[in-house]
A and B are shown apart, each in its own frame.
Chain A
Amino acid sequence: MNATPLPPTVRIYLEALLLNGRQPAYAFIAADGTLQSWGGEMDRYLKQPLHKGRPADDQIDALVGLLPLEGENASIPHLMTDTYRSADLHLVAEAGGAWMILLDSTVEVHQQQTFQQQSNDLLLLKARQLSMLAQLRAHNEHLEAILNQLSVAAVRIAPDGTVTFLNAYAERLLATADGTAATGRPWQQLLPLDSQAAAAFAALLTAEDPAACARVRLALETEGALRHLEADVRLDPRDPAFRITYFYDISELQELRGRLNEKSVFEKMTGKSEPMLRTFQLIRDVARVHATVLIEGETGTGKELVARAIHACSPRKDGPFIVVNCAGFTDSLINSQLFGHKKGSFTDAVSNQIGVFEAAHGGTILLDEIGDIPMNTQTRILRALEQREIIRVGETEARKVDIRILAATNKNLEEEVKRGNFRLDLLYRIRVARVVLPPLRERREDIPLLARTFAAAVAAENEMIAPVIGPDVLAALMAYPWPGNVRELRNAIEFAIIRCRDGMLRCHDLPPEIMTSAENEQHPDAPAPSEKAQLLEALRAENGRRDETARRLGISRATLYRRMTHYHITEADWR
C-alpha cells in the first residue's frame, strides 16, 4: 500500500539502501498520529497487519511516547522487532506528519553482539579478579594487623635464604643499627646470631616439616638492646619452598626466667628441690671461709661440681683449682703425685717434680675419693692440712703451701675408721664443714628440670634442635631409681637424643634399663633387678668394655671397678 507518494530524494535514498541489503520499510504518519500509508519490506519487521487511519502507536509499540515529533527527528538504533530482526528505526519530520523508516541491522547487531559479549565477559572477569584481589589484600591486612597486635614478627624467607617480606612488627623488632630492616637481604644479615644459634635456626629453617620441630631460642642484639626471641617456622601455604618464620619476643619472659633460674641454677648445678636449695646456700656459706670441707654423696651426685662451686664463690676463685682422683693413684706413686719428688729420689725420678699440692698454691685442691687413700699417705695429708706445708719425696725440708683443701667421698668414712681403713684424726681434720649431696631419688622433683636442661645442653653441643620431652618419658624418668644419680640421667638423655628421630623424645629412645624399670613399675610383682644384675647386664651389653659400661650405668670407671670387686664379678660372669 502506498497512498502517499514518496518524495524523490527519499525514494532514491531507499532504493540505494535496498541495493545495500538493508531491506527498508517505510510508513507515513499524519500529524494527528494516524497511519496513512506504508510500503517496502514492512512484513519483514511486523507480525500484525497495519490499518490505515488508526493511531500508529497503537499498532507499533516502539512509537509509544515518540509521537508527535513536534518538528524533531528521532532515531532508535538496533530495535528488536516483532519478528526478532533488528532494525534501525528513523522518524523524519515532514510537513503534515512524519515518515517512519525501518532498516534491517540484524547482521550488524549480531556482529556487535559477539564483540560486545567478549568485551563484557573480559571486563567482568577483570572486575571479579580485582574484587578478589581487594578481598585478599583486606584479608592480608587483617592478618597483619592481628599479627602486629599479637606482637608477633612475621618474616618470609625464600629457599635461597633471602628475606622477602617482613610485617610491621618484624621491621620494628629486627631493625638493624642503621634503622633499616629491608627485604632482599639474606636472613643472616637480618639476624646476626652467634654460630651456634645460627646453626640451630638454619636447621629449623631447612627442616622438612618445621612445624614438628620445637621453637628455637635466639638472643639478638638490635639497636643496642639484647632481645630474646623464640623462632617458630612454618611452610608458606602458598609456596612450600618458602618459609614463614614467626619471632616471639620473650625478652621479658626471659628476664623473669633468669630471676627464677638464679634459684634453680647455681654454678652449673641445677635443682629447685628443697635439699638442693639448702645445698646451694650451704655452698655459699662455706665458700666464704677457708675451712676444709668434706663433700659426701653417692656416685654421680655432682660432688666435683660442688667443689668447683665452693672454689668459684671463694676469695681464691682466681687461683688454680686442681682435682686429684685419689682412687686412680697406685700406692707407689701417690706420694710423689701429691707432694712432688726430688730428682733421683727413686728410679724414675729423672727430674725435680712438684706435686699437686704445690701446683694448687693460692687456690683449691679437691681430693676426690679420699676414702681410697692408703694409710701412710693419709698421715702426710694430715700434716699438710695441719701445718700447711709439704715435704717432697726425697727431701727433708718442708715447703709452705697456701691451699684450701676440699675432699669428696662416696664412702661412709666413719665406717672406714671403724674398719681401720681411715684415720680418725684425718676424718676430723677434713670434716670441719660438710656438704652432703642428696641422691637423685631423694629429689625426684628436680628430674624434669634436669632432663630439660641436659636435653638443651646436649642438643646445643651437637648443633641439634632441643627435642620435646614427652610426658611418658618424664614418667619413666621419674619412676627410675637412678643408682648413677645425675650423671646417669645426663647420659640417659644424651643416649635418647642420639636415638631420637623426630624432635620428640619417646620412651623407646631411652636406655633399656630405664624402660625395664618403667615396665617393672607397671608390674610391681616383678622383682627389681639387683645392682649386681644391672652391672652384669651392662657389661654384657658393652661386651666388657669398662669405659662404655661405666658410661652406660652413669658411674665413674673407678666406681665400676669398685663395685665389680665388691660383687666379685669376673669376666666369666658376663661372658
Chain B
Amino acid sequence: MALKRKICMLGAFSVGKTSLVSRYVLSIFPEKYLTTVGVKIDKKTVEVNGQETTLLIWDLYGEDAVQQVRSSYVRGADGCLLVADGTRPETLEAARRIRARMETELGPLPFVLLLNKCDLQDEWCIDAHALAALQDEGWSVQRCSARTGEGVEEGFRMLVGNLSEAAP
C-alpha cells in the first residue's frame, strides 16, 4: 500500500492555489476564477525514493482581511506549499504571516514558497533582491505559473524532497 502524505496549500485569496493543484494533478488550468470555501482534497501518487507515495493535497480557502485559515485544517500535515502572487506584493506578506502562525500553533513544518503567475512579466513585482532575501532566510522558493505549468512540478517535487528529508 502506498504511503500517504498530507500536504496543505496555504496563501492569500486568489493567488492560484486551486489552479496549481489542477495543473499538478490534472494538467489543466481553469481560466475562470472560483473562490474556494472550506477545503477540497485531491490525490496524486508519486514515487519518492523508490516508495510509492500518495500525496493528499488539501486545497484550503485563501486568507483575506476577515478570515484566517484555522490551524485545525493543517493539523497532521506533512508539509505545506505557501503560495503568493508575484504580481501582488501583499500576498507575499500574507504568506510570511501564515507560516509564522502555523509554526507557532503546530510547530516546525516543511514549507516551500511558490511564487505564482510568473507568466505575467509586465506586472511582476517581486524583484531578484527580495527573492534572494527570502532564500537567505532559509525559504525554499520556486517561481511558477499555473497557467503555463512552468515551475509547478518542480515546486511540488521540492516539497516532497523536503518531506523525505524530514521523515523519521
Contacts and interface: CB of A to CB of B under 8 A. Distances in A.
B38 A74 contact: no
Contacts of A121: 33
Contacts of A64: 4, 6, 56, 76
A123 B64 CA distance: 9
A66 interface: yes
A120 B64 CA distance: 9
B95 to A, nearest CB: 16
Contacts of A119: 64
B72 A80 contact: no
Contacts of A86: 37-38
Contacts of B90: 127
Interface residues of A, number: 28
B38 A79 contact: yes
A76 B13 contact: no
A140 interface: no
Contact of A78 (B4, B13, B39, B62): B39
B39 A80 contact: yes
A62 B41 contact: yes
B78 A76 contact: no
A249 interface: no
B39 A74 contact: no
Contacts of A62: 41
Nearest to A82: B41
B44 interface: no
A70 B87 CA distance: 43
Interface in B57-77: 61-62, 64, 70, 72-73, 75-77
Contacts of A116: 35, 37, 61
B35 A77 contact: no
A117 B34 contact: yes
A57 B35 CA distance: 28
A370 B38 CA distance: 111
B38 A78 contact: yes
Contacts of B61: 78, 116
Chief secondary structure at chain A's binding surface: helix
A66 B76 contact: yes
B80 to A, nearest CB: 12
A120 B72 contact: no
Contacts, number: 69
Contacts of A58: 1
Contacts of B88: 127, 131
A112 interface: yes
Contacts of A528: none
B37 A78 contact: yes
Interface string A105-119: 100010011001101
Nearest to A65: B76
A194 interface: no
A75 interface: yes
A573 interface: no
B38 A80 contact: yes
A120 B35 contact: yes
A332 B14 CA distance: 107
Given A113-B35, A116-B35, A117-B34, A66 B75 contact: yes
Nearest to B5: A64
Nearest to A62: B41
Given A65-B6, A66-B76, A112-B37, A120 B13 contact: yes
Contact of A74 (B6, B35, B75, B77): B75
A62 B57 CA distance: 10
Contacts of A131: 87-88, 123
Interface in B25-62: 33-35, 37-41, 43, 56, 61-62
A124 interface: yes
A75 B72 contact: yes
Interface centre among A57, A64, A75, A105 (most CB of B within 10 A): A64
A386 interface: no
A85 to B, nearest CB: 11
